[in-house]
Chain A
Amino acid sequence: MNIDLKLEDVARLTEAQVLTGEDQLGRQVTQACAADLLSDVLALVQDEGVLLVTGSMAPQVLRVAEVLGLGGLLFVRGKRPNQSMCDYARDAGLPILMTDLSMFEACGVLYSEGVSGAQRKRFPRDNVR
């Protein structure tokens, strides 16, 4: 499905504050992944540019974002990443949005706009066990 949804639209629809990446709000959002457990994120996301919806406050969330080439982060339930996380994200060119909505509500907004779940491709050894 082809949708036209930008990060700035996501920010508006979820009434999110933009904490970093103000200059990248024009990025298109087509896929999203919602999880608090980082290994789940690492298992689910395969394409570049996916939006991560999370309540995880671990500094590692940004490293995961880098490793996966995520398009942006949407923190839910009013969880505010600290200053050093924001500095890191800014250096890495990662947009961070923060909404008071719950994970469920934020996902509902994205889903109703036509955003699809991150598509997991086959890994080299999916049939390993």
Chain B
Amino acid sequence: MSARDSLLHRRVFVLPAGNLEEAGSVSGDVRRELTAMGVEQDIIRRAGVVCFEGEMNIAMYSQGGRIILLVADDRVELLFSDRGPGIPDIELARTPGYSTAPDWAREMGFGAGMGIPNMERQSDRLEIRSRLDGGTVIRAVFKRGAE
């Protein structure tokens, strides 16, 4: 975040490895924190969806990571970072329907291959960076007060 003085709130959520049962709970926390800060309803909803998808991907594909929530006057940001296998082909991962989710995950209702496409559509900007056998970093930006 460039203009430091505009930062209103910063919160770090740590996601331990293989915590599938709890996965998805950060999105509820994010929703509550944004609501408490009086952030626009539309952004709360979109950030909740993006957070859920990012969180599930960290839980399903990585060895753990964290999510940072930033709130500023002009924007909300979610930063996802994990230690893990990384994404070999980011362009492919962005394609609706592409999924390498294992069978057990499909049985739980995952693996539509819609997570990253959802994150892209619901944010105003989504940057994905990944290193093979290193991990993945995703930054989602939501612009405030601009419709």
Least CB separation from B120: chain A residue:
A128
Stretch in contact with the other chain, from B49-57, B62-70, B78-86, B129-137: B49-57
A-side residues, CB < 8 A to B, are 36-40, 42-43, 54, 56-61, 63-64, 66-69, 123-126, 128-129
Return 10 A-B CB contacts under 8 Å, by A number. A36-B109, A42-B118, A56-B109, A59-B24, A63-B27, A67-B51, A125-B120, A125-B124, A129-B94, A129-B120
How many residues on B have C-beta within 8 angstroms of the other chain's C-beta atoms?
A: 31
Given contacts A43-B121, A66-B48, 6 further A-B contacts (CB under 8 A): A38-B112, A60-B23, A61-B109, A67-B45, A67-B49, A125-B120
B21: A residues at CB distance < 8 A = 59
Asked whether A63 lies within 8 Å of B25 as measured between CB atoms, the reply is yes
Q: B56 contacts which of A40, A60, A125 (Cβ < 8 Å)?
A: A60
B17 contacts A by Cβ under 8 Å: no
B-side residues, CB < 8 A to A, are 21, 23-25, 27-28, 31, 45-46, 48-49, 51-53, 56, 94, 108-115, 117-118, 120-124
Query: Which applies to chain B's interface (DSSP): helix, strand, loop or mixed?
Result: helix
Q: A67 contacts which of B27, B94, B117, B120 (Cβ < 8 Å)?
A: B27
Q: A37-B111, A39-B112, A58-B109 are in contact. Are A64 and B120 (CB under 8 A)?
A: no
Q: How far is the CA of A68 from the CA of B114 in the complex (A)?
A: 16
Q: A66-B28, A125-B124, A128-B121 are in contact. Are A37 and B110 (CB under 8 A)?
A: yes
What is the distance, in angstroms, from A80's C-beta to the closest C-beta of chain B? 16
Q: How far is the CA of A42 from the CA of B117 in the complex (A)?
A: 11
Least CB separation from B42: chain A residue:
A124
Q: A63 contacts which of B52, B94, B111, B121 (Cβ < 8 Å)?
A: B52
